[in-house]
Structure formats: C-alpha cells, structure tokens
Amino acid sequence: KKALTEAKKVLRLKPSGKDIEVFLSSPQLHSITDGIVDPEEAIQRINSASIAFGSDSLLTNISTLLSEQKYNSLRVFSDKTIEHNNSRLQVEKIRGEASAQNIAISSIAIRKPENAKGRQILEVGLSSFAKEPVDLRISALPYRLNEDELLPLSNLELTTELEPFSSKLVQLQPLAENATAFRAALSIINTKDPRLNNAILEDDVAWIVLAQSSQILAVVSNGAPQLLNLGGIPSFKVQNISPLDFDKTLNELGPKSIVLFYRYVPDSLPNRNSFFVLPPPRNKLFPVQDKVERVTLSTWSNSHPLLSYINMSLFQFNEAYPIEALPWTSPIINSTSGPILIAGETNGYRYVASGFEIFPYEGGKSLSSSILLLNILKWLSNSALENGFQKTNSILQTEKNLIEAAYISTVPGINPPETLELPRPLLPFPGIVINTFDDQTVGLTAVNFFDDEESNLFFSKNFILKESTSTTVNELRSTSQLQRPILFISLLLLVIDMVLQFRSKLLGVAR
C-alpha cells in the first residue's frame, strides 16, 4: 500500500504525455495500466489496484523489465535495499515508521501426540521482528462445520514471551475431538500501544483445516506401467490409468495427486501437478525436437530443487529429445541442442517435462536418475497444498465438483467478494473458504500467507542485482567430484525425507 502511495506522489509531478506503464511485482509481475498511459490514467489505475498477499520475486521482475528495451528507465518502489549499477534503474526506498516493528505467526500445523491415543496438538510458529521482548497471548479458536455454518467451540489460550528477533514454536492441546478447523491468533499483552511492536495486523492470524488424504501417483501410459518400477518409490500409492480413461478419471483423483504421463500428453494441461516423460512428437503442449544421440550438456540450474544432491557432471544421457521452454517454464537442464528438462508453475499447478528416459526406477543401481526422480516428485508434492491449508494466490483444489465457494473468515480490513469465481477460484486472501459441492455436501479450505521478508519491517535485506548465472559443464568439472558413496547417502537421505514428509501431511480440504 505504501509503495502505491509513493508511486502516486511521483506521478503527480510528471508532465502529461503517454509515457508511463505501472507494474505490480506480486504475486506475479503484471501491468495494471495494460500498456503505456499518461500519468493521470496511471494514478487512476493505481487507485483501483487490488492488494495481493504474495511473495515477491523482485529481482527477477526487475531484470525482466530491464530486458525490455522499450523502457527508457525503470523506477522501483520497495522497502528492500537493492544494490545495482544500472543507469536505467532508480530505486525509491520506502522508509517505514520508526516504530515499524512486528510480531507474526509464521507457521501452523497439526501434530500427532507421542501417545497415539491422545488428542492432536496445534503447533503455532511465532517470529519476532521487534527490538524488545514481548509477552504474547496465543489463542486457538476451534470450529465445527455444521451443514453450511461454522460454529465456534471452546477457546484455547496460552501466554509466552518472545525475545527480540527470534522464533519459537508453541503448542496448544488437547484439541477438541469434534473440531473441523482452527483459527490461531496472537496479541501483545504487555504494552499500552500494541502497534509499537506489532505494525502488521494481517500476519497475526492463521487458519488450518483437519482432514487427511492419501498421496496418489497416477500413471498415464500407452505401454506397460509396471515396467517403470514405481512400486519401489516410498510414500506413494500408484494408480495406473489408460489414456482413454484419463479425462473421466481426473476429477476422481484427490487434489494432492500427482499425474505421471509416460510417452503420452493430453490435449490440455491437467488441473493436477504433473510430470511428463518423453512427450511424443507433435503433441499439443510441448514442442519436441528430433532425437539427439550422444547428448552434450551445456548448462543447468544448479540451485533449482530438482537438481538437489546431484552432480550433473556425472549424469550421462545416451539420447534425448530437446523440449522447447514455454513462457511459464524455466529450462532446468540444457544440452547443446536445447533444453532436455523444463519445469514451471501456471494457474496454481506445477509441471515438469523431461526429454530423456528416467525409468525404470532402480534406486541405488542408477543413483543420479533415481535422485532426480525423487526430487521431481517431492517438488510436485510441495506446491499448492500444505499441511492443512493452501497458499494465497493458488487455485482452490477440491476432490469434488464445486458449485459455490466463498470466504467466511479472513484478515482484518479485507472485504472479500460474496462468492469466488468458478470454475477455478483463485484464493487471494488468507482465511477460511466454505465450499459447496454438486452432491449438496460442503467442505472447508484454509488459506494462509507466511513470508518472513514481508513481515520484517525493521530490517531490510540487501539485494544485489546482477546478471543471472548458470553452472557450465567445464566449471563444475573443475571442482571436486561427488563420489558414488556420497550419492548413495544423498539418495537414502532423500528417501527418508520423503517418507517422513508424506506420513505427516494433512490435506487442506475437509469433506
């Protein structure tokens, strides 16, 4: 809000003339003026702009706009310190008030007690971005869904002290056995003016929904899916689907399901996180080039989670089919003939496409490809749904067909629309959404936004704007090589990590 206010001040001093385009950087870079306009029109568009709860890929967005040569200059309004030497870039540092310190809820989760027969525990993460210790009251209000009404139950409370610039976890128990959802909130109890140490009220609340669902890996293949040996992968229930049955089966898959397309591509991107292996030529989604033998790698995104634990200089490809990167994807592994692994996120779902063979899964017998497959499945599993809630600005995911969705609780100062736009509602705010399905049942979805950089107003991280770099084959081969035992340990740790992760996951939609 403050950035928009400061931008309007600058625009009011600009002479008339159509030479302004205004962009918002969050949750995704987009123009709010729909092209170049005059300053007066730009101010009107700013006045009608909606505020988003989303993380900010600020440096990437700045680099994108600077690459557009049609802009003579770029003026950025941000509370971040950005170091640069670009003559076309001017950064306006937004100064917070002297008292702009903050306390935030940084996480929420349901934990099982050590005693399996005990009631579940609500765990709330707290973060201090204040200069002095504070005494806090943490409350957890349970709700029970009764038909289409959310009824409050007995409130749980505790008090705790939080040291300056620290984090801690607190647990509230026992949870009501008939609760459907929880709203956690914090308040400062040792000061006359809470805003002195808690400047942002929007991050003082969080929601979570109780429900569970199994992790399904749906395999769509024209061949024999058993040859992929997916039964050896932990934490997944494999479900084989014929391409002819995929369209009618998609809605039956839970929202946490991952779809693996092996040598087959549907006509449109499915509303599920998906992995496409060896898309056939002339498919409708991914442009595929002719087969390349004796593949030579050129660059790769060494920092991307898909390549964790992998020494790419040890990766060998006998053949591959380069895949053209789409506007919403990034090339993860590049060959001299083009990308052979791409990944990206669009409309709230994640997708990966591989132009080389990665199966069968053989564990320790084929370490690099096994680790890559586990990385891909883990990345696809971690996207839209978290433990009992979805992230803001994701697409509402349900296991049934929606006929209506609406917020029934949100943060202070937000006036959500009466209903969300179907068929694929976007979740712009934190809160609780009630879903009505075509079978006349109802369910809940919790929505949260956690981001320490957005909650921290006292210190700003220094960003350094520089050209993006990628690791080359020669650069990495000049460094120390990872040996096979280390790769095997990495594979083992990754498998253990996935087992623990999936066993503890809770679905964010209640039936």
Strand, helix or coil for residue 184: strand
DSSP 52-106: ------HHHHHHHHHT-TT-S-EEEEESSEEE---TTEEEEEPPPPTT--EEEEE
Last residue of a domain, one of 207, 225, 258: 207
Cα–Cα–Cα angle for 66, 72, 77, rounded to 5 degrees: 60
In a domain, 460, yes or no: no
CA distances from 386 to 5, 208, 314 (A): 34, 10, 34
Q: Is 167 left (phi over 0), alpha (psi -120 to 50) or beta?
A: beta
pLDDT by 10s per residue, the chain, length 511:
778 888 899 888 888 777 899 998 877 788 889 888 999 999 999 888 877 787 777 887 888 888 888 888 899 988 777 888 888 899 888 765 545 688 999 999 887 665 545 677 888 999 998 888 899 999 999 998 887 788 888 889 999 999 998 999 999 887 777 788 999 999 998 765 555 668 888 899 999 998 655 578 899 998 777 788 887 675 677 889 989 888 878 777 766 689 999 999 999 999 889 999 999 998 999 999 999 998 999 999 888 889 987 888 878 888 999 999 888 899 999 999 999 999 998 887 899 999 999 998 887 667 788 889 988 988 887 644 446 888 888 888 887 789 999 999 888 778 888 899 998 898 989 999 999 999 888 889 999 998 887 888 765 555 566 554 444 444 444 443 444 555 555 555 555 555 444 444 433 332 2
Residues 161 and 249 in one domain: no
In whole angstroms, what is the distance from residue 438 CA to residue 440 CA?
A: 5
Residues 278 and 259 in one domain: yes
Residues 415 and 345 in one domain: no
Residues 157 and 266 in one domain: no
In a domain, 193, yes or no: yes
In a domain, 500, yes or no: no
In a domain, 294, yes or no: yes
In whole angstroms, what is the distance from residue 260 CA to residue 225 CA?
A: 10
In whole angstroms, what is the distance from residue 460 CA to residue 246 CA?
A: 48
Residue pointed to by tokens 């509602």: 425
Residues 83 and 107 in one domain: no
Strand order from edge to edge, sheet including 237-241? 237-241, 216-221, 258-262, 273-277, 349-354, 338-346, 329-335, 297-300, 471-472
Contacts of 248 (CB under 8 A, 6+ apart): none
In a domain, 61, yes or no: yes
Residue 200's identity, in one-letter code, is I
The number of domains in the chain is 4
pTM above 0.95, yes or no: no
Residue pointed to by tokens 């210790």: 133
In a domain, 49, yes or no: yes
Residue pointed to by tokens 């009466």: 418
pLDDT digits (tens, 9 = 90+) for 457-495: 765 555 566 554 444 444 444 443 444 555 555 555 555
Residues 411 and 272 in one domain: no
Residues 342 and 420 in one domain: no
What count of Cα atoms within 13 Å lies in the side-chain half-sphere of residue 78? 27
Residues 247 and 323 in one domain: yes
Domain span at residue 27 reads: 2-93
CB 420 within 8 A of CB 165: no
Residues 328 and 477 in one domain: yes
In a domain, 464, yes or no: no
In whole angstroms, what is the distance from residue 204 CA to residue 224 CA?
A: 51
The structure tokens listed for 458 are 């006292």
pLDDT digits (tens, 9 = 90+) for 11-35: 888 887 778 999 988 777 888 898 8
The structure tokens listed for 467 are 């050209």
In a domain, 291, yes or no: yes
Residues 226 and 300 in one domain: yes
